[in-house]
Copies of this chain bind each other. A is one copy, B any other.
Amino acid sequence: MGSFCWSSGVYNSGFQRTNDGVLVNSGMRYGPASALALASSSSLVLDSVRGELVEAPVKLERKMVSAEKSVEALKNHSEAEKRRRARINAHFDTLRGLIPGAKKMDKASLLAEVISHLKDLKRKAAEASEDSDCVIPKDIDEVKVEPDHKQALDALHLITKRAEIATLGCRMKNVFVMTTSKEENDEVCRFYARSVCQALRAVLEKFSASEEFLKSPHSNKRRRVSVFNP
């Protein structure tokens, strides 16, 4: 890449003095791209020895126009970039106001802080949603016990030994200890016991599946239904 002249901050079109003469409106002032665009035709120079312009005023006009267009484009460009920076910085300021104790923090540290807060809050929010959808059952959480199923359970003549419903926080623990009457045949008892276990497993799996379906892809909810002891 070659060197070029740069006028910082000011967009003025004017003349530049050289030792050979007056270089009219050199595109070099506006960067390599502009210079290249004008390099296809020869430079417009006032020869100090012969005292005349090398090119016609018509072409000079065209050059003025295209040069001004380039200047305008470059000006628009820098102003657009300025707006973009302002937009991003406004968001940085908003974040500084959102993160406690980050009023005067530099961009990198601020972003790091934002990231840690985001991770932290995501974890907390996951727990919160887990709790809330635990205590307010959705339609999909409903598990129907059909009459014939209930009759099947009734046929076992089960005796409820213990029924425990304990809640801590928003978690619930249900314990049902059931047994059959001693009069029943052991064989029949074991068969029914297996059937009950399978049925309850199916219910728990359906429950888990529906819960899985409700989960967001990156959710890290803890499982609510864990162990089933037959």
Contact = CB atoms under 8 A, between A and B. Distances in A.
Interface stretch (A73-81, A107-115, A184-192): A107-115
A39 to B, nearest CB: 17
A152 to B, nearest CB: 34
A168 B169 CA distance: 13
Interface in A95-109: 95, 98, 100, 107-108
A106 to B, nearest CB: 9
Contact of A124 (B4, B112, B128): B128
Interface stretch (A50-58, A83-91, A174-182): A83-91
Instruction: Say which size band chain A's interface belongs to.
Output: 35 or more
Nearest to A114: B114
Interface of A: 1, 3-10, 19, 29, 32, 84, 87-88, 91-92, 94-95, 98, 100, 107-108, 111-112, 114-115, 117-119, 121-122, 124-125, 127-129, 131-132, 135-136, 168-170, 217-218
| List of 10 A-B pairs having minimum Cβ-Cβ separation, nearest first | A128-B128, A91-B111, A121-B121, A124-B125, A3-B7, A19-B19, A87-B108, A6-B6, A121-B125, A1-B8
